[in-house]
Amino acid sequence: MKASSIAPGYLRDRWRFAKANRKGELVLDGVPANQIAQKYGTPVYVLVESEIRDRLRRMRAAFSYPKLCLQFAGKCNSNLEILRLCREEGFELDASSVGEIILGLLADFTPEEITFTNLFKSDNDIAFAAQIGVAAITADSLEELERMNHVGQRIGTKIKVFVRINPEIELGNYSTKKHKYGIPLKQAKKAILFVLKAKHLEIVGLHFHGSYINDPKAYFLAAEKLLKLAAFSTQKGRVIQFIDLGGGFPTPIGNQKVFEPEDFGQEFSEFFEKTCRKLGIPLPTLILEPGKFIVRSAGLGLMRVVSKKPLLHGEVLVTDGSAYSFLPDVLFLNEKFDFLPLEKMNKPKTNKYDLAGCTCDNIDVLAEKTSLPQMKADDLLAVMDCGAYTHVLTSNFNTVKRAPMVMVHQNQIVKLIRRRDRFSEMFAPELDVLKVADPAQLMRYYNLHRVNIDKIWRDSKNNNGKNHQKVKREKTKSKKRKK
């Protein structure tokens, strides 16, 4: 395939998998993007395997610390195919819920390769995670430590704990002082002593919730404070096995400039090891939890222009994407994405358009004043850098189906890794209610005469409720009367 002369201002260096062919069509690792749109429909998410694997390997290569453990932050994109790639590349899993623990097990992670790190954990969540044998569970408060000890007593086991600390970092416009995560620094020693005395808890690590970090110095500051606490624990008779500094490794959207792991990884590794030796403690395993760094730039979305119309301030392209069901980062984080003309990459940016989403809501706007070539209905657009958080934050607002997800593999084979939603799934929680409710009550409170509620209700084969049994008894009595 010969590359075309791409018009300036479209492709960024970080999208190494993206090129254009002689027709000016976007090509993803050798696969024309319009073929993906044609086969799977739009909107659709596309992930590129080669970019994911490359970023997993870059993360490991950036740090020379001898006892390094990398865990993928599953919350940013918990698709099973992505989890499988992470496991194949030697990563473990940072799980934020019982659901993510289950997904990790489905992706063939062993329980010992999963850490449970959410702030919220019910007693049942703690018991479940402890009983299946996850590596550790984070504790965010003294109260939670007490609850975890009670749970350990109830289930008859000693729960392995990461005590999460808020190191109270202030670095430019970055601060953890108002973070909801972690035990305040002044209570940290008290928390460690509590775990050391608790009969059903075992402290195995200290944790820092690194998130949205814009300066790598934050990792140095957090590490130093956690290692000093590790030295305190060692003095009290318990060696800390793990120091977990969380995630927060940034990746850009649009023209943002961010630091890369390679910018500080070597220096940090040397600092971490030197600090341990200075404090006289055994080298702990260093855990890092990259998420969006791994998958954000490896993912994009394809959508179609449904119509174009003039407005008072310019022109708007109405698309089949949405800020609710396809690109929620626009609503949650006010992100400014790059949009590419999927089949016009060789055309200059001559027009500015607003991009409207497909839902019946005035704030469903994907972008304003986006520079593109002349566009028309049925043209295709690609939105870049949406491999992290985008899909997992989507909703079915307006009862719109969420998009499918495909992966472009290194052999140019495209594989469906999540299908499009089905209406039957979207309606299931309500239809399940209708199947067990009394039709007379439903008719009294709702205008349901256009729906055959009686048929839905009586045809429920799996319903063992009283109303269902009542119908059976009434049918039996009726048959007896006829006889």
Residue 317 to residue 437: CA distance in whole angstroms: 45
Residue 73 to residue 95: CA distance in whole angstroms: 7
- 49-295: CATH class: alpha beta
Q: What confidence score (pLDDT) does residue 436 get?
A: 58
List pLDDT tens digits, range 143-161. 999 999 999 999 999 999 9
Q: What confidence score (pLDDT) does residue 465 get?
A: 42
pLDDT higher than threshold 50 for residue 453:
no
- Mean confidence (pLDDT) of the chain: 90
Closest among 361, 319, 358, 362 to 339, alpha carbons compared: 319
pLDDT higher than threshold 60 for residue 482:
no
List pLDDT tens digits, range 321-346. 999 999 999 999 899 999 999 999 99
Confidence of residue 458 (pLDDT cuts 50, 70, 90): low
Confidence of residue 5 (pLDDT cuts 50, 70, 90): low
Q: What confidence score (pLDDT) does residue 416 get?
A: 98
Length of the chain: 483
Beta-sheet pairing, 31-32 with 44-48: unpaired
Confidence of residue 85 (pLDDT cuts 50, 70, 90): very high
Task: Tell me the helices (H) and strands (E) count for the chain, helix number first.
Answer: 15, 23
Residue 469 to residue 8: CA distance in whole angstroms: 70
Give the residue range(s) of CATH 3.20.20.10 domains in the chain. 49-295
Contact, 346 vs 6, CB < 8 A? yes
Give the residue range(s) of CATH 2.40.37.10 domains in the chain. 18-42+299-418
The distance of Cα 449 from the centroid of its chain, to the nearest Å, equals 42
pLDDT higher than threshold 60 for residue 3:
no
- 3-class secondary-structure state, position 78: coil
136 beta partners: 115
Is 75 exposed, middle or buried, given 0-12, 13-18 or 19+ CB atoms closer than 10 A? buried
Confidence of residue 448 (pLDDT cuts 50, 70, 90): very low
List pLDDT tens digits, range 99-123. 999 999 999 999 999 999 999 999 9
Query: Domain spanning 18-42+299-418: which superfamily?
Result: Lyase, Ornithine Decarboxylase; Chain A, domain 1 (2.40.37.10)
Q: What confidence score (pLDDT) does residue 70 get?
A: 99
Structure tokens at 219: 């990792």
Closest among 155, 117, 156, 167 to 139, alpha carbons compared: 117
Name the percent of the chain lying above pLDDT 90.
80
Residue 343 to residue 52: CA distance in whole angstroms: 25
Q: What confidence score (pLDDT) does residue 450 get?
A: 46
335 — phi, psi (to 5°)? Answer: -70, 145
List pLDDT tens digits, range 362-379. 999 999 999 999 999 999
Q: What confidence score (pLDDT) does residue 200 get?
A: 98
Q: What confidence score (pLDDT) does residue 173 get?
A: 64
Confidence of residue 171 (pLDDT cuts 50, 70, 90): confident
Residue 267 to residue 106: CA distance in whole angstroms: 37
Confidence of residue 471 (pLDDT cuts 50, 70, 90): very low
The residues, ordered by sequence, that sit 6+ positions from 104 with a Cβ below 8 Å of its Cβ are 74, 83, 93, 95, 113, 114
Residue that has been written with the tokens 């499009």 in this structure: 420
Average pLDDT of span 198-219: 94
Number of C-beta neighbours around residue 67 at 10 A:
16
pLDDT higher than threshold 50 for residue 481:
no
